[in-house]
Chains A and B, each alone.
Chain A
């Protein structure tokens, strides 16, 4: 900080040059280094409200839990319902309550990581707050981004929120058991993702019928 010029009337200019979005990015980079040092792989799970983020993490955890030690960080405005659902015998779970916030940020995740015994963790799933807009602007330091969208949200979810899909490594198109009733084509959603982000892998999933879970695990590279 530097005081530039005291002009008349005793008004002082104070230069700050503080970038509030960049600060989050830098913290995210710190988180990444911290995770790498502990040999932990983190996956940021994003998606709209009720799209099935917790359900999918539960199923991924029960398969991956046979080979790996899993940790979960659940973001929610005020409740700890999801962390409770995700806590299993072999899984460490931490709840972050964001209060009023529409997204997790890197500083919240940093604190959550301190509450996990990372020596006992190989993979961390971070469930972001249900929202397709804000989380895209706040990297957390995770190695991969998994976006969950479901057919019950209608046919336009992907094209309306390109920003978040542009950053996804894997996209789960969930609730395909309801596709017919909803008259929404999972294939169309997959094509929409491919237009925005040709590198993303889109997988049709039904958490209810336990379909597509192995494919998601494969797409994540396990």
Chain B
């Protein structure tokens, strides 16, 4: 939804860091995108390509890696995927409270990953 907004922030950061490193060119950009965010990787890719036109990063390869939605249970130590209950509609899947698929506990179940949108690293040429 707000893909343009986030793309703008990412693009600004990439160009800023590349200039600080005295790059002549950015060759690769690595992004990690959580499954739970309302960001669409195709949209992000599209906007980044538009935003990088006629910049140091215009030819950069953009790699967006999907980060799975994983939970962590404080009660039994379970770390992994959530089991989707069949009675739930698709969209409830993303909503807390989550219960642990191993011990069934609801309290103390945290989101371990899936909420992030990380500019992980860039590759530059001087």
Contacts and interface: CB of A to CB of B under 8 A. Distances in A.
A16 interface: yes
Nearest to A23: B9
Nearest to B2: A134
A181 interface: no
A75 to B, nearest CB: 13
Contacts of A218: none
Nearest to B116: A19
Contacts of A21: 6, 37, 115-117
A25 to B, nearest CB: 9
A14 B37 contact: no
Interface stretch (B50-58, B78-86, B88-96): B88-96
Interface of A is mostly: mixed
B115 to A, nearest CB: 7
Q: Which size class do B's interface residues fall under?
A: 20 to 34
Interface string A37-48: 000000000000
Contact of A137 (B38, B119, B121, B125): B38
A105 B96 CA distance: 22
B29 to A, nearest CB: 10
A28 B27 CA distance: 34
Q: Which size class do A's interface residues fall under?
A: 20 to 34
A156 to B, nearest CB: 12
Nearest to A161: B91
Given A163-B94, A196-B95, A15 B120 contact: yes
A45 B10 CA distance: 28
- Of A9, A10, A16, A163, most buried by chain B (CB within 10 Å of CB) is A16
Interface in B54-102: 91-92, 94-96
Given A1-B17, A21-B37, A134-B1, A12 B126 contact: yes
B103 interface: no
5 contacts: A9-B125, A10-B126, A20-B9, A20-B117, A133-B38
Given A11-B124, A17-B118, A17-B119, 13 more contacts: A12-B125, A14-B122, A16-B13, A16-B120, A20-B6, A20-B119, A21-B6, A133-B1, A134-B1, A138-B2, A163-B91, A163-B94, A196-B95
Interface of B: 1-2, 4-6, 9-10, 13, 17, 21, 23, 27, 37-38, 91-92, 94-96, 115-126
